[in-house]
Chains A and B, each alone.
Chain A
Amino acid sequence: MRKLELSVCPIKVYNTPEIPTFEDDNSAMLKKIPKRWKKNAKVIAGLGFIGALALSSVVRSGNHTFPQEIVHNLGHTQGSYRGFSQENLLVRLHTGGMGSSFYMVHLTEQEAFGIIRARLEAAGLNFDATPPPRIVSDPTLKEYNLSFSELLFMGRPDGIDFDLFDAQNGIAVTYVRSTHRSFLLDERHIARLIEEIFAELDEEIIVGAFHNPGRIAGRGAPLPRLLRRPFPWETAAARPILVRQLINQADKFIAILQSEGILEHFPDVDVIINGVLFNHGEYPLIINDQKMVPALELFEALGMDTVVSDNGLRIAITATRNNVEIWVTSNGSIAVNPNVNRNRFSDWPEDIPMLVHNDIVLAPLQFVADFVGATIEWNEDDRILNITY
């Protein structure tokens, strides 16, 4: 009988099977289809449909970035591509199960990029200059403790380029497109990684990385447009939240630029609430004409009942007075009357900032004061904001 070594014993040489991997071009062998498919009219129709889309270049062929996930992982994890009725086929394709490969687009890249750009320009940045051909090389990235996988799945193994450049202030913007995403790292993660890299680099320019949060549950390869188009009601529900998330991305970057003195400071104002000078923190942050002040101090100065829940993971501040309830957290979530609907922003306009800066939750002074029904008087000559409530 064969003997087994019952120990942890690394294999020195292994004969790799002689079959292609996903790295290879496998398109030729896929021309042969199972007999059972040939007998199925729906499958034949589907193949024709896909073929037509491929011919019209809507579908990328030979891209093996996502499907095997579905075949294997949905099976492995009892995922959800099985057992659909015809009616919910598209919905299920959109929403998928764990490891879904089909994503829908609530905001196009152009829209998302436009929102970011407009917000940054409104804060005083000027992007007329041509972006520098900046490339962060692979070895440089590796110096910053990025794992091989992170480099590989950033989709930019050759480096990072810029989309916008403010030459006067030395500020570069890179926008992470959906084509950079992979199953492992979505645009948000990639943007974070890029910011981390440049924060570590001792460079003269400051880099902001942004992404479109308006895509969900997916991986790189685009599918036929028909399949990734969301239903109108889905977009209607998602869009306000996504726009807010985009604005929040831009505002966080603006706050950094202001606090570090890179972006021109706005003249500060003195704030008096109920006759008392309000201590409004370290930096004169003014975003979209809203003076950003520490939320807790503001709520208390306005005489609101505040409850702070600090559990070591997230600080949540709930402020109530009369019929108004505002709930903010140190991870940047906002809700108005959160017990009614935690993710509802309709009472909080999308262009009104709300951000966490240097671990302090900052709220927009004028908006909050107005929202709770306080009286606001502005003295232009002395630059004093007088609030009574």
Chain B
Amino acid sequence: MQLTLHVTNQCNLNCKYCFVKRGPERMSREIAFAAVKLGMENTNTSGLLFYGGEPLLEKELIYDVVDYAKSISTKTGHNFYYKITTNGVLLDEEFLKFANDVNMAIGLSCDGPAQDYCRSSIDGTGSLAVLEEKISLLLAHHPFAMGLSVVDSATVDRASEIVEYLFKKGFRYIHMGVNYSKTAPWTEERLLALEMEYKKIAEMYINWTRREDKFYFSSFDMKILSHLKGEKYNIDRSRMNMNQPSVAPDGIIYAMSKHLNNPVFAIGDVVSGINKKKHKAIYKKGAIPTEPCRSCAIKSRCNYAYDNLASSGLDIINDVTPVQCVHERLITPIADYVAQTLFKEQNAMFTQKHYNDLYPFMSLLEDID
């Protein structure tokens, strides 16, 4: 199991689309240690993802938790892996060396040219200037860190610039999400702008692959994967999501991060453990697409037809919103165009990356100094 530890609800930025409700709550050592033990149950390998708020506001806690986990590893042989998602403002040499030592994977939230608009400081000033230095520092220590960006309806015209910015900065693993919150109303015009941006990114993707650059772009690579895997794609995603519950600072466990503090999605606490029946029942709600998606030709490739859960009173519903539906209808053919173009060219980088069982191993060999 991988537990997402929301070590604090405090944050030093004021991102437009953050789903975590800002507050003074901080996770205690006792809660964090109990979570470490809980994650160990029934498995020999477990993961800890440090999340927030801004997790680096709790660096000392992170150090302690990892030390504690390491001591357990020494005694029992249990394996832990660590990840962190940070806005990067507090990254420093000391933490990056520590992260290297314990093989902690780092994801840095960054919107590049849209950063100052979307991810401003609490006082309203931009954060890109600070972040640029941190990105250089991060990639010097962790060349395989992931760049995490979000497309907002207000900044959609810059989506391709964001991807290009991250790539030029040196990120080779780029994730791009879409802000679907009500704070960012999407219109037809904005969605068409997004389509245009995806097409620009598609050309970049094709060119980079032709150049044999090694990179990962979540929006397209996952969509291509959905074709390659067929029905299994969403089943796998669902299982994966189910295996990654979130722990709030007070120790309450939620089925998914985006519903933190929503009692409907509470499935236990770190002392008592997880109520597996409830956990399973929640995900069962998302196991079958609702009407009218059941008849959709791309439902098995849709990121929202399954497990797109929300609460309605005390009920849990699985509904695709109109914007999400349009998004999937836009992006799927573009990703397929990318795949088909590179496949027809018999591009070896493309086929190895997507079809070779041992690509990760070969990739590793390349990365060894």
B is a partner of A: yes
Residues of A within 8 A of B (CB): 1-14, 16-23, 26, 29-30, 32-37, 40, 42-43, 45-47, 50, 63-64, 66-86, 88-89, 92-101, 147-149, 152-153, 183-184, 216-217, 221, 233-234, 236-238, 311-314, 341-344
Q: Give the 10 A-B CB pairs with smallest separation, nearest first.
A: A237-B77, A82-B144, A10-B296, A75-B216, A67-B357, A14-B297, A70-B360, A311-B272, A17-B336, A95-B79
Asked whether, in the complex, the Cβ of B363 is within 8 Å of the Cβ of A98, the reply is no
Which of the segments B16-24, B58-66, B346-354 contacts the partner chain? B346-354
Report the nearest B residue to A17, measured CB to CB.
Answer: B336
Proximity string of chain B (311-332) to chain A, C-beta cutoff 8 Å, 1 when within and 0 when not: 0000000001111011001001
Q: Which among B118-126, B151-159, B225-233 touches the partner chain?
A: B225-233
Interface contact A11-B106, CB-CB below 8 Å: no
Does chain A have a CB within 8 A of B25?
no
When the two chains form their complex, are residues B218 and A46 in contact, meaning their CB atoms are under 8 A apart? no
Q: Report whether B349 and A34 are in contact in the complex, using a CB–CB cutoff of 8 Å.
A: yes
Say which residue of A14, A85, A341 sits within 8 Å of B76 (CB atoms).
Answer: A341
Let me know if B361 and A221 touch, CB within 8 A. no
Give every chain A residue within 8 A of B326 (Cβ-Cβ): 4-6
Contact A67 B358 (CB under 8 A): yes
**Contact between chains at B340 and A17 (CB < 8 Å):** yes
Chain A residues within an 8 Å CB radius of B146: 75, 78
Contact of B192 among A4, A79, A342 (CB under 8 A): A4
Tell me the minimal C-beta distance from A318 to chain B in angstroms.
14
Interface residues as binary, B100-134 with A (CB distance below 8 Å gives 1, 0 otherwise)? 10010111000000000000000000000000000
Known: A34-B212, A96-B81, A184-B239. Is A26-B364 also a contact (CB below 8 A)? no
Among B106, B214, B240, B353, the residue within 8 A (CB) of A78 is B106
Write the residues of chain B forming the contact surface with A, with a CB cutoff of 8 angstroms.
2, 37, 40, 43-45, 47, 75-79, 81, 83, 85, 100, 103, 105-107, 142-146, 173, 175, 187-188, 191-192, 212, 214, 216, 218, 221-222, 225, 227-232, 235-236, 239-240, 243-244, 268, 271-275, 287, 292-299, 320-323, 325-326, 329, 332, 336, 339-340, 343, 346, 348-349, 351-369
Main secondary structure of the interface of A (DSSP, over half): loop
Q: Is the CB of B293 within 8 A of A75?
A: no
Residues of B contacting A184 in the complex (Cβ-Cβ under 8 angstroms): 232, 235-236, 239
Closest Cβ of chain A: how far from B148's Cβ, in Å?
Answer: 8
Residue of B nearest to A97 (CB): B81
Partner of A97, one of B105, B271, B296, B363: B105
Complexed CA–CA distance, A69 and B292 (Å): 30
The complex places the Cα of A83 from the Cα of B96 at a distance, in Å, of 13
Q: What distance in Å separates the Cβ of A126 from its nearest Cβ neighbour in chain B? A: 32
CA distance A3 to B189 in the complex (A): 9
Query: Which B residues lie within 8 Å of A35 (CB)?
Result: 212, 348
CB atoms of A7 and B360 under 8 A apart: no
* Residue from A3, A86, A184 with most neighbouring chain B CB atoms (10 Å): A184
**Residues B231 and A148 in contact, CB atoms below 8 Å apart:** yes
> When the two chains form their complex, are residues A238 and B272 in contact, meaning their CB atoms are under 8 A apart?
no
B329 touches A11 (CB 8 A): yes
B39 CB to nearest chain A CB (Å):
12
Docked-complex contact A72 and B222, CB < 8 angstroms: yes
User: Measured between alpha carbons, how far is A129 from B296 in the docked complex, in Å?
Assistant: 51
30 pairs of residues in contact across A and B, judged by CB atoms under 8 Å: A1-B192, A4-B192, A5-B326, A7-B325, A8-B321, A10-B296, A14-B297, A18-B343, A20-B228, A22-B229, A22-B230, A22-B355, A26-B355, A30-B351, A35-B212, A40-B365, A42-B365, A43-B366, A67-B358, A69-B236, A72-B221, A75-B221, A78-B106, A78-B146, A80-B105, A85-B368, A97-B105, A236-B77, A311-B272, A343-B76
Taking A6-B191, A93-B361 as known contacts, 5 extra A-B pairs with beta carbons closer than 8 A to each other, sorted by chain A number, are: A37-B366, A82-B173, A99-B240, A153-B232, A238-B44
**Docked complex Cα distance between A312 and B47 (Å):** 26
B268 adjacent to A313 (CB under 8 Å): yes
- Once the chains bind, are B103 and A80 in contact (CB under 8 Å)? yes
The answer to whether A217 touches B76 (Cβ under 8 A) is no
Q: Is the CB of A3 within 8 A of B188?
A: yes
Cα distance A77–B369 in the bound complex, in angstroms? 24
When chains A and B are docked, how far (Å) is the Cα of A26 from the Cα of B356? Answer: 8
Q: Which of B37, B225, B352, B364 contacts A72 (CB 8 A)?
A: B225
Query: In the complex, what distance in Å separates the CA atom of A101 from the CA atom of B236?
Result: 13
- In whole angstroms, how far apart are the Cα atoms of A14 and B76 in the complex? 52
A4 to B77, CA, bound (A): 55
Q: Do B361 and A33 touch across chains, with their CB atoms under 8 A apart?
A: no
CA distance A17 to B268 in the complex (A): 43
Instruction: Please indicate the chain B residues that have their CB under 8 angstroms from the CB of A2 in the complex.
Output: 192
